[in-house]
A and B are shown apart, each in its own frame.
Chain A
Amino acid sequence: MCFPSLLALLVLLPSLAQAKLPADKIEPPAAWSDGFGLRYTIERIEVRGNRKTRTDLILREVALSPGDTVTADDTRVERARLRLLALGYFLDARLSMIKGERRGGAVLIIEVEERGTIILNAIHLGTSQATTLWGGLDVSERNLLGRGLSLGAGFVSSTRPKVDGAEPALAFSLRMAGPPRLHGLLLSGSALFSRGSEFFRVRGPAAEPDPAEFVAVNVRRAGGVVGVGTVLSRTAYLWGEGRFETVRAELPTLRVRDLGQGESQPIAFLVRQGSSRLGSIALTLDLDSRSDPVLPRAGRHLVVSVEAATPACASQYTFVKATAQGSLYFPLPVGHVIGVHGLLGGLVGDAPYFDRFFVGDLNLLLPPRAFGINFSTQPSRNFLGTGVADHRYDKLAGRLLAEYAVPLWRRHGLFYRGDAFAALGVFALSNPDDLRRGGASLGQRLPADLTADLGLRLDTYIGIFTLSVANALGRLPL
C-alpha cells in the first residue's frame, strides 16, 4: 500500500547515514588528572539568570554549600552542571568561581539560561471507518511556578462514531508530579474523565470493519491515580500506585451476536451495566541500563508491573494483571543498532475491557487508543491467516519485535537527533479458554499476526516524534 514510500526511504538510508570516522573510534583516556591540586573553600554561592526557577531548587541539584571544599577538577561540579541540564529547565548551565575574601576562598557562581518548559506530549489525530475524525492534544508544563512541579493536561474529542448507539468521545486528563529528585521519593497524581464508546460486533465476518455490523457500549470513567516512586540504584526504579475510578456503562439493547446459519452467541461486553467502581494498587519495577532513553545504542530495559484490583480497594472488578516488557540493544560496528523488544502479559479475573490487552496496543498498524478510548472497528490485518481478526480485548498477550535503527544526524537546530528505523514483529492475543479449546487449530487457539513499522524517530527541542508508516496507517481509514 505504501511501498513507494518504503522504497524511497530504503534507497535514501545509505546516503543519509553519518559516516563514523576512524578518529571517533579512539578511546579517550580512562581518567583525568587531579586539577593541579588547586583547592578552594566556598565562601558563598550566587545563582544568576533564574528569572523563573527558584534558587533553592537550583542549589538542591548542585548539592554544594558554603564551607565545602572543591578542587579545580571536582567531579561534583560537572555532575551538578549536567544535573541542572537534565532537569530540562535550562538551555545552558555554567559553574565558575571568583576569588573570595580570604586566600584560598572562592565564590561559586551558578549561571543558568532558562528555556521554555511547555512540552507537547502527544497529538491525537486520526480518522477511521467508524469515526470520521478524532483529535486532541497532551501538553505538560515541567517547571510550574519555577518550583520544578510538572503539570500536564490533555484532551481528546471525536465526531459521533457511525456505530449504532455510539456517542462522541470526550476525555480530559490532568496530571501533576513533584519536582524530580535524584534521591528520595517522587510523588505524582492524575485525575481523569472520559466519555466514549466501545464497539462490539453483532453480525458479519470478523475481518469486516463495517461500523453497521457493530453496536456501541457507552462508558463514562472518572477517577484518579496517586503514585510514589523511588530510585533503588543507578539502574533501578520502583513505583507504587493507587487507582480509583467510577465507571458508568450503558449496554445496548442488542446483546447477541448473529453468527449466521441461525446460530448466535451472547456478547461479552466486559463492563458492568450501570455504575461500578474500580480500585487497584500497582507496583512497577524499572531496570534501565540503556545508553540513552530516546535513541539507545546499547543496554537493556526491563519493566515489570503488577496491578491488583480487589474489593479491599473498593473495587467491584477483581483481577490481577501482570506485564513484563524488555528491550535489548546491540550496537553494530558501523554505528547501526539492532533492538529486540519483547512483551508478555497475563490477566486473571474479571477486568473491564479497557484494562485488558488491546490489539491496537500490540499491532503498530492499527489505530492507537487515546486516553483509553478506541475509535476504530478495524481488526488486525491477519497476515498469518489465524483467528486474530476476532480478538480485540483479551487476557493474554505476547509480542516479539526486532528493530534495525540507523543514526542519521545529530545537532541540527530544532531537530537535534534522528534515527531511521525498520521494525518487524509478531504478536499473539488469546485467553485461557481459547488456549484449551479442543479440536481447534493452533491459529485459532493462539491467534497471531505480523506487525511492522518503518520511519524516522526524531529527538527535538519540544519532544520526541516518530514519523512512521505505521503511524500514518493507524490514523487513516486504510
Chain B
Amino acid sequence: MWFPARLAALTTLAVAATQAMPVFAQEPEERKIGIDRRDGRLFVSLGLQDLLRAQDAQRLLSGFTSRVLVRVAVVRPDSPEPVAQTIRHTEIVYDLWDEKFRVRRFEAGGKVETREASTASEAIDLATALVAFPVVSLDRLEPGVAYRLNVRADLNPISQELLADVRRWLARPSARGRMGSGDSFFGSFVSIFVNPRIDESERQLRLVSQSWVEPTR
C-alpha cells in the first residue's frame, strides 16, 4: 500500500510544481508611469503599445472595427479594493474607400473624442498611449499613503453574452446524455475542445505601476 501512496504523492507534487511555474510567470509586469497633479485631479501617462503586435497593424486594415479597452484601478497596496477606477475604450476603423483610419475614444464621464489617422501606427498610438489620462480626484487620495495603479488592457474584448453563446455552441450535448463516462457504451459523441482564441479578448496586458506616496497638500 505504501508504494502507490508515495508514487501518487510524488506525481501530484511533480504535476503541481510543473504547473506552478507558468502561474508565477503570469504575475503582472511592473511598468513605470508618469504622474501629474493639476486641477484637483491625478493624471497618469502610460504606454500600452505592446498590446498590439506587428501583424495587428495589418489586421487594422480589415475594414471592421478593432477595439482596445483599458481598465485602470487605483489601489492601496494594503487593500484589495480599489480607491478609484476608470476605463477608456477606443475603436479603430479603416475606411476602405477614403483609405484612412478613423479613431474614436470613449472615456469615463461621457467624454468622446474622434480623430483620424493616416497610418496604422498612428492609430495604435491613439488607442494605446494614455497621455495625461485622468484617473481620480485628488480628494480621494490620502496624503502620506502609498498607492499604485493596476491596469488591464484588452484587444478586441468579447461581450460576456457572446462569449456565453460561443461556449454553448461548443457544448452541444452528446447524443446520449446519461450518467457519466462509465455508462457510455455508445461513447461520448461530441467531443469538446476549446479553442484558446475564444476568450474574453484576443490579447490581454495586465500590469501594475510603481507605487508612489501621495504628497501633503
Physical interaction between A and B: yes
Q: Which residues of A contact B136 (CB under 8 A)?
A: none
The 8 A CB mask of B74-89 against A (1 = contact, 0 = none) is: 0100001110010101
Complex alpha-carbon distance, A369 and B144, angstroms: 65
Chain B residue, CB-CB nearest to A153: B187
**What's the dominant secondary structure at chain B's contact region?**
mixed
Cβ B187 vs Cβ A411 within 8 A: no
CA distance A7 to B206 in the complex (A): 32
Report A62 CB to chain B, min CB distance, Å.
13
Most buried by B among A24, A28, A94, A173: A28
Using CB atoms, name the residue of chain A closest to B6.
Answer: A4
For window 79-138 of B, CB contacts with A under 8 Å fall at 80-82, 85, 87, 89, 91, 93, 95-97, 102, 104, 106
- Whether A40 touches B169, Cβ cut-off 8 Å, given contacts A26-B85, A103-B97, A227-B175, is no
Report B151-173 CB contacts with A as 1/0, cut-off 8 Å. Answer: 11010011100101111111111
A207 at the interface (CB under 8 A from B): no
Q: Across the interface, which residues of B come within 8 angstroms of A200, CB to CB?
A: none
- The complex places the Cα of A35 from the Cα of B20 at a distance, in Å, of 42
Q: Judge whether B102 and A36 touch: CB under 8 Å.
A: yes
Residues in A whose Cβ lies below 8 Å from that of B198 = 82, 85-86
- A275-B166 Cα distance, complex, nearest whole Å: 46
B45 lies within 8 A of chain A by Cβ: no
A353 within 8 A of B: no
**Inter-subunit contact A293/B9 (CB<8 Å):** no
Q: Do residues A96 and B187 form an inter-chain contact, with CB atoms below 8 A?
A: no
Give Cα A463–Cα B154 distance, bound, in whole angstroms.
27
Q: Contact residue range for chain B?
A: 35 or more
Which residues of chain A (137-165) have a CB below 8 Å from chain B? 138, 140, 142, 150, 152, 154
A122 in contact with B188 given A2-B8, A190-B175 (CB within 8 Å): yes
CA distance A231 to B171 in the complex (A): 12
Stretch at the interface among B10-18, B30-38, B46-54: B10-18
Check A239/B151 contact, CB under 8 A, given A86-B166, A290-B171: no
26 pairs, CB–CB < 8 Å, chain A vs chain B: A5-B9, A16-B16, A16-B19, A23-B71, A23-B73, A23-B151, A35-B91, A77-B64, A85-B166, A91-B197, A96-B64, A97-B96, A140-B191, A152-B189, A173-B185, A180-B169, A188-B175, A229-B175, A234-B168, A241-B175, A290-B168, A293-B168, A293-B194, A323-B179, A409-B26, A412-B22
Task: In the A-B complex, list the 3 residue pairs whose CB atoms are closest, starting with the nearest.
Answer: A293-B171, A372-B185, A96-B62
Contacts from B to A (Cβ < 8 Å): 1, 4-6, 8-9, 11-13, 15-16, 19-20, 22-23, 26-28, 59, 61-65, 67, 69, 71-73, 75, 80-82, 85, 87, 89, 91, 93, 95-97, 102, 104, 106, 150-152, 154, 157-159, 162, 164-173, 175-199, 206, 208
